[in-house]
Amino acid sequence: MRNSSPRDKSETHGNGPRKAGSAGSAEFAPADPPLSFPRWAEALAASSLPLRERQSYAITLRWYLSFCKRSGLRVNKASARGFLDQAIRKHGKDEFKVESWRNALRWFFRTAPKPTTKTPSKSAVSDMNAATHGDCSSEAPIGAGADWQQLLVRSVRIRQFSYQTEKTYLGWMRRFAVHLGGDPRQAEANDLRSFLDHLALRGRVAASTQRQALNALVFWHRDVLGREPGDFSDYLRAAPSARIPVVLSRRELELLFDALPDNRRLPARLQYGSGLRASELLRLRVKDLDFDQGHVVVRGGKGDKDRATPLPQALRPALERHLEEVQDLYERDRAEGRAGVWMPPGLGRKYPGAAREWGWFWVFPSRQIGPDPRSGICRRHHTLPRVYQRDVAAAARQAGLAKRVTPHALRHSFATHLLEAGVSLRTVQDLLGHTSIETTRIYLHVMRRPDGELTSPLDL
């Protein structure tokens, strides 16, 4: 995720931490498409449900729809979960009441007409794009919801933050609106404190997850609303955790590479050989592979920083063959008149033809054409991170590896193996793109010592 000064400030907001219990990880359910069910009351009245249930459902559903309107949320399963959380928090956990609320919402979502995707209109993109990209369907881009969400998205895009940052901030602010039970523009310092306390105590999120929520809240107040959020410095801090990174031995790496499908083996070997984050790997452009200098150029990495890292010479023949195949795909796109690849907004305006140049094409493109989540333009994207992650995890299981293997384990292994080979900690820090050497120092805990493995006293 791209860093910015307001977010850096927010991480040190406050005076002294109060510790919560042990932290866990937090994931959001993916956003559901919004529903339109204006005649739900007629459908409920015409249903075969008993009269008392119909009356109870009607009360619950009016309450839920009013909650969505006040909070500026779309009517979907995600907001329904938030509504239930708030209802239980404010009105107790009586099992009969809670089950009645759940049944009303289940009826609503089962009976409502299924949402349909929309084709981007010509007003959403230029005439050239509309003519070029035809009937590629997509949902409306993020920001098409309530007014406060549009304000947030506009501020994020003006600052040219990444799409991942946009989704993250929007997700946190939607969750904050659910917790608040109203429009976040009306929030005060006590509301921010209450939300962050809730994450630490009930959500039991990791400290890094809580800081992510904090960054979103501070950005919302300082950059979107243009005011200071007030003093909420005594919020309850989630307990920090020190996790030992998962590192694969060279034998385990070979087992993993052998188990990977052909189209994932080369990117996985390059990620390990160059120490890349998965996002950096998948966003590589053809021009970022410098075969003559023997390095990979990472552009706009974490913290929006560029760096160079080694290009494994052992992979050079395979990469050159791969690029020949990719070039066939590139030329087919040009012959079919497809849009160029996504470009950073500033560069796209400065060099309008660059998106169609070979040098800017993805090293690992997706085989499918899809709509751009922001503009709706139908174009070729790079391989999706979740697809790559899924294939790596599946290969690890197939190889019989007991460790929890994700693509990031390849980056951990790169750092650890370099340190074991005698490369200095400072050099590894530069290659990984770490701001602080303390982040790199964690690999010292998992590396094999130069003087041999540590021996248990039981083996002496």
Q: What is the 3-state secondary structure (H, E, C) of 341-393?
A: CCCCHHHHHHCCCHHHCHHHCECCEEEEEEECCCCCCEEEEECCHHHHHHHHH
| Contact yes or no for 237/17 (Cβ under 8 A) | yes
For residues 85 and 81, give the distance between their C-alpha atoms in angstroms, rounded to a whole number: 6
pLDDT tens string for the chain (460 positions)? Answer: 444 434 343 333 333 344 444 333 333 334 456 788 888 888 888 888 888 888 889 999 999 998 888 777 888 888 888 888 888 877 776 788 888 899 999 999 989 887 654 444 433 333 333 333 333 433 334 333 458 988 999 899 888 888 889 999 999 999 999 898 888 998 999 999 999 999 999 888 999 899 999 999 999 999 999 999 999 999 999 988 777 899 999 999 999 999 999 999 999 999 999 999 999 999 999 999 999 999 999 988 777 789 999 999 999 999 999 999 999 999 999 999 999 999 987 788 888 899 999 999 999 999 988 888 887 889 999 999 999 999 999 999 999 999 999 999 999 999 999 999 999 999 999 999 998 898 888 888 777 765 555 666 666 5
Catalytic residues, by residue number, are 277, 302, 408, 411, 434, 443
Domains and their CATH numbers in the chain: 39-110 (no CATH), 161-224 (1.10.150.130), 250-444 (1.10.443.10)
For residues 171 and 374, give the distance between their C-alpha atoms in angstroms, rounded to a whole number: 16
C-alpha dist (Å) from residue 436 to 289, 374, 424, 440 = 26, 33, 15, 7
